[in-house]
Chain A
Amino acid sequence: MRNHWLMGATALALSLSLVAGCGSKSTTSTGTTTTGGAAQKGGVLKVAIVGEPPTIDMHTTTATLAFEVGWHIFETLYTYTADYGIQPMLAETLPEVKADGKIYVIKLRQGVPFHNGKVMTSDDVVASINRWNKLAQNAKGAMAGLKAVTAPDKNTVQFEFDKPNGTLLAALATPGNGLAIYPKEICDKYPDKPIQEFIGTGPYKLIEHVPDRYYKLQRFDQYASRSEEPNGPGGKKLAVADEIQFIPVPDTNTRLSGLESGEYDVAALLSGSQYQSVKNDSSLQAIVVKPISHLNVSFNMKQGPFTNKLVRQAALAIMDPEPIMSAAFGDKDLYRIDPSLMQKEQGVWWTDAGKENYNQHNVAKAKQLLQQAGYKGEKIRYLATKEYDYNYKAALVYADQMKAAGFNVELVVSDWATLVNNRAKPDAWDMFGTGISVKNNPLLLASMGDKWFGWWSNPQRDQLAQQIAGELVDAQAAKPWAELQKLYYEDVPSVKIGDYFGTRAARKNVKNVPTMGEYYFWNTYVEKK
């Protein structure tokens, strides 16, 4: 009886996670620019991406590029829809939850072939889960307290935890550093290094990879598609194009000129000014993709002035998000001022708890807090990088705002690799900015963990996190989450500045271009004249 209630509640929660207005004018509710249409099978779709992924082994890296190419080849047990509801992919249905959330039983779809012809079974899934649990950062929180993963039969897997687990489903549906299902032999052959043989169950198979030139994917004719209507990355995958080429083009000008000349069909991530010029070009379509990330500035709580909560509160009090976001992203279409750490598109998770401490821009309060804290103008090293233009511009403006309150801020500008290296050393920095990517569950947000750079340690945070993790239904977990966000705005481990969106451009004749943050081109095609 309890199980049925849980299943019903889960379904209700999923149906409640409604989109609050997704994408630009051309966006549909299914996460693409257009839907359906007379999709004509065939052709080559050329997509200019921002760089070469470090690998497409989704278990081993958190790099977004890895799964954006990878999930055309590999699939996960669950995925999400355009409104961030969770939908089965390789699983047959949503899991059966037993023992108050300590046991999850997942039925697998039957007869799903890998690209090598072998049919997927629970042995492959268990091997993939074990490898993912060992290697993936994304698995760490969700798999905490795992007692065993077993395969009761060849089409069923079971997770058993020592306490109720409310984050498992969200983690299983997250593609970034996600649980891609590989054949058992591949998991055994590459237990701790990135895989070199790319065999999945996805709608496309990898036929050639020439580093820095392309990933060439070809339609997998035996692909076993789901039958539900396409919805975001979920539902039916049509594999319309015969071939998809992901071409690394690190220079944004080259991406745009390649698109204008017809060299590429779709180009990722343009600058604000390029977005404007694409909007004015009748042969192209400018697409705002959302949600992507929020801009965040973390404070070092191990060492230096920000170990004092009052100093952190002063940095929050002075923060005026509008000029920072405007300098960093330009066009108003490309950012949003909002206090919630979870995005507006994420339904029940969105909350304005703690909003009274967001967007204050209160110089007097900041000065007073600094005085109370006994801050004597100690130097504050703000790490920034010009490698990501927005990062540097945001740092310039925020540093200026802080100086107005009496902070002695010094920008330490380096390339990204150096910044990453320095942020791991508590004696090398006081604050740094980065984007925190959207996650299905707030506990998966990088900045909420105690391992994140800044090392936020707070027993109340741990308690609330435990409550969230113990809730099996998002709508119920949303309550402790709102409390946790309120605590975040009081304790200020970092400052959320604003949400930012991505841009994508495509030639006018490209249909069903994804409008969500991630790429999924299995239903995208070039309309024939």
Chain B
Amino acid sequence: MLQYLSRRVLSLIPTLFVVAVVVFTLVHMTPGDPAAAMLGPEATQEQIQKVRNDLGLNEPIPTQFVKWVGRAVTGNLGTSIFLSQPVTAAIGQRVEPTGLLTLLATVIAVGLGVPAGVIAASRHNQLGDRVMMILALLGLSVPSFWLGLNLILLFGVRMPILPAAGYTSLAEDPLDALRHLILPAFSLGFAQAGLIARMARSAMLDVMRQDYMRTARAKGLAQRLVIYRHGLRNALIPTLTVIGLTISTLAGGAVVTETVFNLPGAGRLLLQSVLRRDYPVIQGAVLCVALLYAVVNLVVDLAYAWIDPRVRYA
């Protein structure tokens, strides 16, 4: 197990290096200039060139890459050109809203998706199955920003019971932080719930055809016990893969939802940084997202063994 873990951790190094090369190349190939974004629309070319020189942006691209990688391996992702603060600090400040949003949206997605999938499978081809699958399809089809805007209109403006936008940090007021996250988490979680429900249903249907399920029923176990103790646990492996992907997607790219709800999260930072051509932040943020994907995948793989004792890593 330990050997497997170290192998997986070591495999992160080439993965991250490839991501670093690709993102650095793409960012520098994209037209646009961080100096121009910083100096404003009426800055002259002379001023822009001076700032480019000061920032080292006129150095050859390979030189800039080597310097960036050299710093990145020591944990220094550089300084944001636009925000004038270390990239790690800029990302760090946005971890809380994005992390909480991801957590809450995942809870909603799993909380709605798994039971919906189980109900649909256990009432296969009956009314309950159809209702659940229509809802799941709706979740998958409705864009989260559209749902978000409607939730704002309904619960933020018409019946103002929840904040329409913004964020309060946990340290300031934990309850208010939660209130600010309910609507965005629901608009994100609903779409993911649809995906999880469909996956859970399909996995459950597979499992329910197995011999051991028939045996469980034959020995007189209650239907509830058959489904939850014998069925769901076995159906969780494929569902868990989807949940893992959901977490990675939410943590790395809730860009639109964060913009609609004005949440100062990592997704919005990444989007704004692309518009401002803030190279160090784009590179740092993409690297962090890649790392996050790799770590979540690893955790999901390890969770397989925990859920299903037949899975062993050597």
User: Which residues of A are interface residues toward B (Cβ below 8 A)?
Assistant: 51-52, 54-55, 60-64, 66, 137, 140, 177, 192-194, 196, 210-213, 247, 249-251, 253-254, 257-258, 260-263, 387, 414-418, 420-422, 424, 434-435, 437, 446, 449, 451-453
Contact = CB atoms under 8 A, between A and B. Distances in A.
Given A60-B39, A249-B165, A262-B160, 7 more contacts: A61-B40, A62-B40, A137-B42, A258-B164, A261-B165, A263-B166, A421-B32
A52 B275 CA distance: 12
Given A446-B42, A451-B44, A452-B44, A420 B37 contact: yes
Nearest to B167: A213
Interface string B29-51: 01111001111111111111000
Given A55-B38, A62-B42, A211-B93, A417 B164 contact: no
A257 B163 CA distance: 10
B37 A54 contact: yes
Contacts of A416: 275
B83 interface: yes
Interface in B265-301: 268-269, 272, 275-277
Contact of B264 (A212, A262, A263): A212
Lowest 5 A-B CB distances belong to which pairs?
A417-B32, A62-B40, A63-B40, A261-B164, A212-B264
B230 interface: no
B157 interface: yes
B157 A260 contact: yes
Contacts of B30: 418
B32 A254 contact: no
A417 B37 contact: yes
Contacts of A418: 30-32
A397 B46 CA distance: 32
28 contacts: A52-B82, A54-B37, A54-B82, A62-B42, A63-B40, A177-B40, A211-B85, A211-B93, A212-B272, A213-B264, A249-B262, A251-B259, A251-B262, A254-B260, A254-B262, A257-B149, A257-B156, A260-B157, A261-B164, A261-B165, A263-B156, A415-B32, A418-B31, A420-B37, A421-B31, A421-B33, A424-B48, A434-B41
B190 interface: no
Nearest to A195: B84
A196 B260 CA distance: 30
Given A194-B84, A254-B260, A418-B31, A263 B46 contact: no
B277 A417 contact: yes
Nearest to A138: B42
A420 B36 contact: yes
Contact of A451 (B46, B157, B163): B46
Interface string B67-103: 0000000000000001111000010011000000000
A249 B268 CA distance: 11
A449 B152 CA distance: 46
Contact of B84 (A55, A64, A263): A55
Contacts of B262: 247, 249, 251, 254, 258
B173 interface: no
B41 to A, nearest CB: 6
Contacts of B165: 249, 254, 257-258, 261, 263
Contact of A54 (B32, B38, B46, B149): B38
Most buried by A among B42, B54, B156: B42
Contact of A257 (B41, B45, B152): B152
A261 B165 CA distance: 9
Contacts of A192: 54
Most buried by B among A52, A60, A211, A434: A211
A230 to B, nearest CB: 28
Contacts of B48: 424
Contacts of B166: 247, 258, 263
A257 B153 contact: yes
A251 B84 contact: no
A261 B156 contact: yes
A196 B89 CA distance: 15
A247 B163 CA distance: 15
B261 interface: yes
B136 to A, nearest CB: 28
A451 B43 CA distance: 9
A158 to B, nearest CB: 27
Nearest to A452: B44
B167 to A, nearest CB: 7
Interface string B140-181: 000000000100110011001001111100000000000000
Contacts of A61: 38-40, 43
B79 to A, nearest CB: 11
Nearest to B156: A261
A262 B40 CA distance: 31
A210 B264 contact: yes
A63 B47 CA distance: 14
Contacts of B153: 257
A254 B277 contact: no
Nearest to B49: A424
A461 to B, nearest CB: 17
Contacts of A250: 259, 272
B161 to A, nearest CB: 10
A444 B161 CA distance: 49
Contacts of A62: 39-43
Contacts of A251: 259-260, 262
Contacts of B149: 253, 257
Contacts of A446: 42
Contacts of A249: 165, 262
Contacts of A258: 164-166, 262
Contacts of B268: 212
Contacts of A140: 44
A77 B44 CA distance: 25
Given A55-B84, A247-B166, A254 B261 contact: yes
